[in-house]
Structure 1
Amino acid sequence: MKPRILFILHLPPPIHGAALVGQYIQESALINQTFDTTFIRLSTSQKLEEIGKGGLQKVYALFKVQAKVFRALKRKNYDLCYMSINSHGPGFYKDLLIVFLLKLFKKKIVYHFHNKGILFEQHKIFHKYLYRFSFKDTRSIILSKYLYPDVKAYVKEKDIFYLPNGIPGPSFKEPKLVEQERTSSLCRILFLSNMMAAKGVYVLLEACKLLKVQGLKFECHFVGSWFDISKEEFQDYLVHENLTEEVLAHGGKYGAEKFNFFYDSDIFVHPTLDDCFPLVLLEALSTGLPIVASEEGGIPDIVVEGETGFLVPKQDVQTLANKIKLLMLNPELRNKMAVAAKERFYKLFSFERFENNLQVILEKALKS
Structure 2
Amino acid sequence: MDTNGERDRTGAPVSIRILHVGPGWGQRGGIASVLSELVTLKDQFRNDHVSISLFETHGFQSVRHALSFLIADVPHFVLTLIRGVDIVHFHVSVRGSFYRKLMLFTLAKLSGRKTIFHLHAGNFERFESNAGKMSKRAIGWFIRRSNATVAVSRSIADELRRLGAKPSTLHVIGNTACLAEQASQKSVEPGTADDSVPYVAFAGRLTEAKGLAELLKAIALLGDDGLTVALKLAGGGDIERWKQLAIDYGIDDRVSFVGWLDGDEKLAFYRNARVFCMPSYYESFGISTLEAMFAGIPVVGTRLGGFLDLVEEGETGFLVKANDPEALAARIRLLMVDDSLARAMGTAARRRAIRCFSMEHTLRRYVNFYREISQ
TM-score with structure 2 length normalisation?
Answer: 0.87
Residue 151 of structure 1 aligns to a residue whose secondary structure is helix
1:313 corresponding residue in structure 2: 321
**Deviations along 1:301-347, whole A, 9 cap, x unmatched?**
10110000000111111000011011112222112101101110110
2:22 corresponding residue in structure 1: 9
Letter of the structure 2 residue corresponding to residue 156 of structure 1: K
Unmatched 5+ residue regions in structure 2?
1-13
Check whether the contact 1:292–1:324 (CA below 8 A) recurs between aligned residues: yes
Alpha carbons of structure 1 residues 183 and 117: separation in structure 2 relative to 1, 3 Å: closer
1:81 corresponding residue in structure 2: 88
Say which of 129, 149, 171 aligns to 2:158: 149
Q: What is the RMSD computed on CA atoms of the aligned residues?
A: 2.2
2:177 corresponding residue in structure 1: 167
Letter of the structure 1 residue corresponding to residue 210 of structure 2: K
Is residue 205 from structure 1 mapped to residue 213 from structure 2 by the alignment? no
1:108 corresponding residue in structure 2: 114
Is residue 303 from structure 1 mapped to residue 308 from structure 2 by the alignment? no
1:268 corresponding residue in structure 2: 276
Alpha carbons of structure 1 residues 245 and 97: separation in structure 2 relative to 1, 3 Å: same
Check whether the contact 2:16–2:370 (CA below 8 A) recurs between aligned residues: no
Between the aligned partners of 1:170 and 1:260, the Cα distance in structure 2 is 13
Between the aligned partners of 1:354 and 1:187, the Cα distance in structure 2 is 33
**Deviations along 1:147-201, whole A, 9 cap, x unmatched?**
12221131121110111112211428544366x77899x6311111121121111
Report the identity percentage: 23
- Pairwise CA distance, 1:120: 2.6
Written as runs of structure 1 = structure 2, the 5 A alignment for 1:1-368 is 1-11=14-24, 13-28=26-41, 29-35=43-49, 37=51, 39-45=53-59, 53-76=61-84, 78-86=85-93, 88-123=94-129, 124-135=132-143, 136-152=145-161, 153-168=163-178, 169-171=181-183, 174-176=187-189, 187-225=198-236, 227=237, 229-230=238-239, 232-367=240-375
Check whether the contact 1:112–1:140 (CA below 8 A) recurs between aligned residues: yes
Check whether the contact 2:198–2:272 (CA below 8 A) recurs between aligned residues: no
TM-score with structure 1 length normalisation?
Answer: 0.89
Alpha carbons of structure 1 residues 118 and 209: separation in structure 2 relative to 1, 3 Å: closer
Between the aligned partners of 2:170 and 2:80, the Cα distance in structure 1 is 26
Between the aligned partners of 1:240 and 1:122, the Cα distance in structure 2 is 36
Between the aligned partners of 1:260 and 1:181, the Cα distance in structure 2 is 8
Between the aligned partners of 2:136 and 2:372, the Cα distance in structure 1 is 28
Check whether the contact 1:6–1:39 (CA below 8 A) recurs between aligned residues: yes
Check whether the contact 1:119–1:149 (CA below 8 A) recurs between aligned residues: no
Between the aligned partners of 2:193 and 2:149, the Cα distance in structure 1 is 44
Mean CA deviation greater in 148-157 or 55-64 = 55-64
Residue 250 of structure 1 aligns to a residue whose secondary structure is strand
Check whether the contact 2:220–2:249 (CA below 8 A) recurs between aligned residues: yes
Task: Give the 4+ runs in structure 1 shifted more than 6 A.
Answer: 180-184
Check whether the contact 2:218–2:326 (CA below 8 A) recurs between aligned residues: yes
1:49 corresponding residue in structure 2: none
Letter of the structure 2 residue corresponding to residue 157 of structure 1: P
Residue 183 of structure 2 aligns to a residue whose secondary structure is coil
Between the aligned partners of 1:36 and 1:325, the Cα distance in structure 2 is 47
Alpha carbons of structure 1 residues 333 and 249: separation in structure 2 relative to 1, 3 Å: same
Alpha carbons of structure 1 residues 351 and 158: separation in structure 2 relative to 1, 3 Å: same
